[in-house]
């Protein structure tokens, strides 16, 4: 019996030694509630950690329905990053039994300045809770964001964004204002817009001759399309999250992608205006030719009458 007991102790010691030796080689798992946070972690430490995402980028995280697989993701977490607007996160963590630290990375990421703040916050979390120093990578990322900032400003000027009147979904207003557009009306998520608010939006948009109605993809596009149809504007849906289209691996790429969508939408406005002007000119030409034709017909009739009267007079002589 004693020899068996000693053997068990030896086995346990060997097993614990193996676990201790193996653990340093295992990557910690960072669970992120959105692809915004996940993309930042991937940019800063993609090869140093495992990254798991909870909410799909195609829907608003506030409306996300938690799945059983999400519980397992959180259970394996070494660190949990969230924004603060996810109503389900605390219940999910509780259900998983996870003891991983939760770090709230709050605030918007709609402009380069705000986005830089998020990168700094995530870098600090990786250092403080996982002991991972990403200072050099952070500097490169911040420099890259500054470069995108300059690109966006130049692109906005080149494509005439400044002071162009638009209607914007509230979650896109920060980015739209940053690009120089003049936001003449905003609207909340469709389920929060009353009939009175809708009428005011349409009235303000019509008075200001809004050219675009800018939707937030994750909030739905039906309301924006309805407003656009009513005021005679072009509707365009922007995304707030990476991974909603091929190549959109982080927020800076999302910003450039959205800017190009806005430029394309303004090109449509220009095309429609040119087409409307051309149709108007054609109508004017048609009207002119119609007038000339009628005048010519009247003149011909008068000439015919004159000739007839002259012929009658000549016969009487």
For the chain, strand residue ranges (E) read 29-32, 50-53, 79-82, 102-104, 165-169, 182-187, 212-216, 234-238
> Taking residues 30-35, what's their average pLDDT?
99
Closest CA to 58 of 256, 213, 249, 241: 241
Model pLDDT, residue 284: 54
Contacts of 64 (CB under 8 A, 6+ apart): 54, 55, 56, 86, 88
C-alpha separations of 156 from 162, 248, 273, 299 in Å: 7, 20, 20, 58
Q: Per-residue pLDDT for 229 more than 90?
A: yes
Closest CA to 188 of 55, 86, 62: 62
Query: Do 23 and 36 meet the contact criterion of CB atoms below 8 Å apart?
Result: no
Query: Do 43 and 66 meet the contact criterion of CB atoms below 8 Å apart?
Result: no
Model pLDDT, residue 312: 73
Express each pLDDT in 173-224 by its tens digit.
999 999 999 999 999 999 999 999 999 999 999 999 999 999 999 999 999 9
The more confident residue out of 11 and 57 is: 57
Q: Per-residue pLDDT for 80 more than 90?
A: yes
Closest CA to 212 of 238, 178, 248, 190: 238
H-helix segments, 131-245: 135-158, 173-178, 195-207, 222-231
Q: What percent of the chain stands above pLDDT 70?
A: 81
Class of 159-272 per CATH? alpha beta
Which DSSP state fits 247? T
Provide CATH 3.40.50.1980 ranges for the chain. Answer: 20-152, 159-272
Closest CA to 169 of 238, 102, 105, 109: 238
What is the layout of strands, in order, in the sheet containing 234-238? 182-187, 165-169, 212-216, 234-238
Express each pLDDT in 94-150 by its tens digit.
999 999 999 999 999 999 999 999 999 999 999 999 999 999 999 999 999 999 999
32/52 Cα distance (integer angstroms): 6
Q: Per-residue pLDDT for 38 more than 60?
A: yes
Model pLDDT, residue 270: 81
CATH of segment(s) 20-152: 3.40.50.1980
Q: Per-residue pLDDT for 1 more than 50?
A: no
Model pLDDT, residue 273: 63
221/4 Cα distance (integer angstroms): 70
Structure tokens at 58: 């195609």
């Amino acid at each position: 019996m004693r020899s068996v007991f000693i053997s068990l102790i030896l086995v346990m010691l060997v097993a614990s030694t193996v676990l201790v030796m193996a653990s340093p080689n295992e990557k910690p798992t960072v669970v992120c509630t959105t692809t915004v946070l996940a993309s930042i972690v991937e940019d800063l430490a993609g090869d140093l950690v495992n990254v798991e995402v909870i909410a799909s980028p195609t829907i608003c995280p506030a409306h996300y329905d938690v799945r059983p697989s999400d519980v397992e993701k959180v259970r394996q977490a070494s660190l949990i990053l969230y924004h603060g607007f996810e109503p389900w996160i605390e219940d999910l963590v509780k259900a998983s039994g996870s003891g991983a630290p939760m770090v709230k990375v709050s605030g918007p990421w709609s402009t380069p300045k705000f986005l830089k703040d998020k990168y700094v916050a995530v870098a600090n979390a990786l250092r403080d809770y996982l002991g991972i120093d990403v200072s050099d990578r952070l500097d490169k990322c911040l420099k890259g964001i500054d470069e995108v900032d300059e690109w966006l400003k130049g692109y906005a000027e080149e494509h005439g964004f400044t002071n162009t009147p638009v209607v914007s979904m509230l979650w896109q207003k920060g980015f739209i204002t940053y690009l120089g557009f003049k936001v003449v009306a905003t609207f909340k998520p469709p389920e929060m817009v009353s009939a009175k608010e809708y009428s005011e939006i349409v009235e303000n948009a019509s008075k200001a001759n809004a050219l675009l109605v800018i939707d937030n993809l994750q909030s739905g596009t039906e309301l924006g399309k309805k407003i656009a149809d009513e005021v005679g504007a072009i509707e365009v849906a922007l995304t707030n999250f990476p991974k909603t289209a091929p190549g959109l691996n982080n927020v800076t790429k999302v910003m450039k992608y959205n800017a190009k969508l806005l430029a394309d939408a303004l090109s449509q406005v220009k095309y429609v205006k040119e087409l409307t002007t051309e149709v108007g000119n054609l109508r004017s030409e048609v009207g002119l030719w119609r007038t000339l034709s009628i005048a010519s017909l009247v003149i011909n009739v008068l000439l015919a009458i004159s000739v007839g009267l002259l012929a009658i007079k000549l016969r009487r002589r």
